[in-house]
Copies of this chain bind each other. A is one copy, B any other.
């Protein structure tokens, strides 16, 4: 279910956040479906509960999940996801920076465009597979 890479530069709690977003957005976790509890997930991933907690808290702050103390953490409606300007402008800045880096490395516009196309296709395939996987289950 989860793939953590301890060697990655992405911190553990960020990896948890992103993979959980993937599950929620792709619909594997339906609205109001319960997420694994903090302790449960921490055992599965052999990570400290605090690390999972940190991820869950950030997910709640961004509107992907909601929390009921004593009951657990649940997938929110996609309508509740906060599409705030700050997040978007930050992502476009990252996008800009990444594209710039690629041109520094000598990538032509065409090379970059085809790379983009490839990434797009891969993501789409991945999303479809996740959906099928959850439907089969």
Contact = CB atoms under 8 A, between A and B. Distances in A.
Interface string A83-102: 11001100110111111111
Contacts of A70: 11
29 contacts: A6-B68, A7-B68, A7-B76, A11-B69, A11-B70, A12-B68, A18-B97, A18-B101, A22-B100, A25-B103, A25-B104, A78-B106, A83-B105, A87-B101, A88-B102, A91-B101, A91-B102, A91-B105, A92-B115, A95-B95, A95-B115, A96-B119, A98-B98, A99-B116, A99-B120, A99-B123, A100-B123, A103-B127, A116-B116
Interface of A: 6-7, 10-12, 18, 21-22, 25, 61, 66, 68-71, 76, 78, 81, 83-84, 87-88, 91-92, 94-106, 109, 112, 115-116, 119-120, 122-124, 127
